[in-house]
Amino acid sequence: MAPKRPKGAGALEQPALSPVPQSGSRELYAALDLGTNSCRMLIAQPKGTGFHVVDSFSKSVQLGAGLERTGRLSRGSMARTIQALRICQQKLRQHKVRRMKLVATEACRRAVNAQEFIQRVQRETGLRLDIIQPEEEARLAVISCAPLVSRKTQNLLVVDIGGGSTELVWIDISKVPKNDRPQAIMRLHSGFNTAAVKDVAQARVVDWISVPLGVATLRDQFNDVEDDAARFALMSWFFEENLADFAPYHDTKVHEKFQIVGTSGTVTTVAASHLGLKRYDRTRVDGLSMSSAQIDKVIRSYLDMGPGGRRADPRIGQDRQALIMSGAAILQALMRCWPTDRLSVADRGLREGLLYAQMSADGVLSDGAL
């Protein structure tokens, strides 16, 4: 499985499902992300430079279960997913949402029966899913994290650890005025190779990569290794090997004012464990800065717990306990490779990026959002 770096970076495409709302509109927008492991949706209303979440949905459906072995989506995984999508469809109808972007990612990109599944979804739920390419997935993750970019940052790495793939985007914003850096990141919504705008400093994408290893697919690669610690070490090493073609990886210069922003269930779970939260609190997790030492301490505690202990830990949860160590292996490999000892935690990702992109295209966000 070679990492993917497709050519081209066209604007996000979204069919107009209703007349374009005016600025300040109370129109609702929806974004659905169907990944290898989870089905998640947000329904939101534009508010100022961002949006207010009206309703949400999240369910572990394990759409990619068995995909690594068979190359196909199984009957059971498709049935679980369609059941979750029916709930999403009910929410969309309840809120009378007309403007939406519903996407599927790595599992559907790889499965030989993906189109059959997409057609079945439309037939049974009325929902039209678009299978997006890795670059669009990476772009959406980047713009969702823009509000977390420090004004001191000159080099930025955004990491989105998914179920079936991991997207990494290296961005140079050293030429952008400090106060404009988050907005410069947001302007990447129209593509990584955007045309220069006269007298406007641009965020420059140095390189990006989509590694076809996420928490589910990496775990499946090493299912036959029985020893917990050995399996973790092998997963971390294997992921690092897959970064070999990522250009900035070879740059040995010390990068000053470098920031990593990580978005995924793995990153937020590690952060919640670090904080000792008995109940997950997004307001404490989103934007948290963690050191490499703090991340390593949490990962060591997971290894000390063993599979049984992790299964019983409420901070990890039943849905995530089977995947947390493969995600932790990816996270540790990234922190080992890059010239910084801190990670910014983002409880945001593809869904938020989809919302920002739609609202920006419709011009319903206040000036300064992009």
**Residue 367 banded pLDDT, cuts 50, 70, 90:** low
Query: Which of 195-209, 212-226, 283-297, 327-341 bottoms out in mean pLDDT, i.e. has the lowest?
Result: 195-209
Mean pLDDT over 62-72 rounds to: 92
Same structural domain, 189 and 312: yes
Same structural domain, 210 and 245: yes
**Residue 200 banded pLDDT, cuts 50, 70, 90:** low
Residue 324: pLDDT above 80?
Answer: yes
Note down the domain range covering 332.
135-351
Closest to 33 (Cα-Cα) out of 252, 259, 263: 263
**Residue 25 banded pLDDT, cuts 50, 70, 90:** low
Same structural domain, 247 and 159: yes
Could you tell me which residue, 214 or 191, shows the higher pLDDT? Answer: 214
Q: What is the pLDDT of residue 13?
A: 35
Instruction: For residue 8, give both structure tokens.
Output: 């081209």
Q: What is the pLDDT of residue 316?
A: 86
Which amino acid would we find at residue 297?
Answer: K
- CATH code of the domain covering residue 106: 3.30.420.40
Q: Looking at the domain assignment, is residue 13 inside a domain?
A: no
Helix and strand numbers (H, E) in the chain are 13, 11
Q: Which residue among 79, 97, 132 closes a domain?
A: 132
Q: What is the pLDDT of residue 142?
A: 92
Q: Looking at the domain assignment, is residue 363 inside a domain?
A: no
Closest to 220 (Cα-Cα) out of 263, 290, 177, 163: 163
Same structural domain, 47 and 158: no
Closest to 297 (Cα-Cα) out of 318, 322, 328, 324: 328
Mean pLDDT over 196-222 rounds to: 84
Same structural domain, 128 and 142: no
Mean pLDDT over 38-50 rounds to: 93
Residue 139: pLDDT above 50?
Answer: yes
Give dist(CA 24, CA 47) in Å, integer. Answer: 8
Residue 7: pLDDT above 80?
Answer: no
Mean pLDDT over 127-145 rounds to: 93
Q: Which residue among 92, 113, 132 closes a domain?
A: 132
Same structural domain, 112 and 191: no
Give dist(CA 224, CA 193) in Å, integer. Answer: 42
The rounded mean pLDDT for the chain is 87
Provide the domain count of the chain: 2
